[in-house]
């Protein structure tokens, strides 16, 4: 039995979606919950003992600020238990945003790994199983400790601070632009290249212990237009 323990938290998104057999569009989010997702990945139980829980089942664009706070609180609760790392499956539309939020607000040195998929679980060559396998491998590895929140996607490990979604349809949808990546993973073998020196997680200046509601920030949109003739 593996000596490491990883908690998997599902929030919905394309990785949990189902649609017409083989199709990559017009699918429904949140069809498959944590047991089904974990059970669909061969060899996952060889990487770590898995503890799974369903946080929610919806598109990432529908997640509220209150749910972000609740997810961060749950992550912190789990890091105080015997788990060695946490994996969060998430929709890709706001995956980089929630990753950075957790990177700044969760005070822990244990790995927090966020992953997802660009194709639903019922698609031909669905990318979710590989991403989930590699996310668990990263979360279970001792070398991942102290690196903050990480995004694992298509053989690549990114810092939550630097990662961006760059494509709306390619399976290799994320990148670090000028910052690159922290490392790579092939199967379950990790190859870290460097470590971010910016403050995060256990050294972050942000503290949610007394926060019950995130502040509302108005956004004003302006545009140039020609006067009517």
Catalytic residues: 14
Sheet containing 183-186, strands listed edge to edge, beginning at the edge strand earlier in sequence: 49-58, 5-12, 85-89, 112-115, 149-153, 156-159, 183-186, 189-192
Cα–Cα distances in angstroms (integers) from residue 169 to residues 36, 102, 110, in the given order:
24, 25, 31
End-to-end CA separation in angstroms for the chain: 76
Look up residue 65 and give its two tokens: 């600020």
Query: How far apart are alpha carbons 187 and 201 in whole angstroms?
Result: 27
Separation between Cα atoms, residue 179 and residue 194, nearest integer Å: 11
The DSSP bridge pattern shows strands 112-115 and 85-89 to be: parallel
């Amino acid at each position: 039995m593996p000596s490491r323990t990883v908690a998997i938290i599902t929030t919905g998104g394309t990785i949990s979606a189902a649609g017409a057999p083989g199709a990559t569009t017009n699918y429904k989010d949140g069809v498959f919950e944590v047991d089904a997702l974990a059970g669909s990945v061969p060899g996952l139980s060889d990487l770590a003992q898995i503890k799974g829980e369903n946080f929610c089942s919806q598109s990432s664009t529908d997640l509220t600020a209150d749910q972000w706070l609740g997810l961060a609180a749950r992550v912190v609760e789990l890091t105080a238990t015997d788990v060695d790392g946490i994996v969060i499956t998430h929709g890709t539309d706001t995956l980089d945003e929630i990753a950075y939020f957790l990177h700044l607000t969760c005070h822990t040195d244990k790995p927090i790994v966020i992953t997802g998929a660009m194709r639903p679980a019922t698609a031909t060559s669905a990318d979710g199983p590989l991403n989930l396998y590699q996310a668990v491998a990263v979360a279970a590895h001792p070398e991942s400790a102290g690196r903050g929140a990480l995004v694992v996607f298509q053989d690549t490990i990114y810092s939550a601070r630097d990662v961006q979604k760059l494509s709306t349809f390619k399976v290799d949808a994320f990148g670090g632009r000028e910052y690159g990546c922290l490392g790579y993973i092939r199967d379950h073998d990790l190859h870290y290249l460097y470590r971010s020196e910016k403050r995060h997680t256990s050294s972050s200046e942000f503290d949610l212990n007394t926060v019950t509601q995130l502040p509302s920030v108005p956004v004003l949109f302006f545009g140039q237009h020609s006067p009517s003739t």
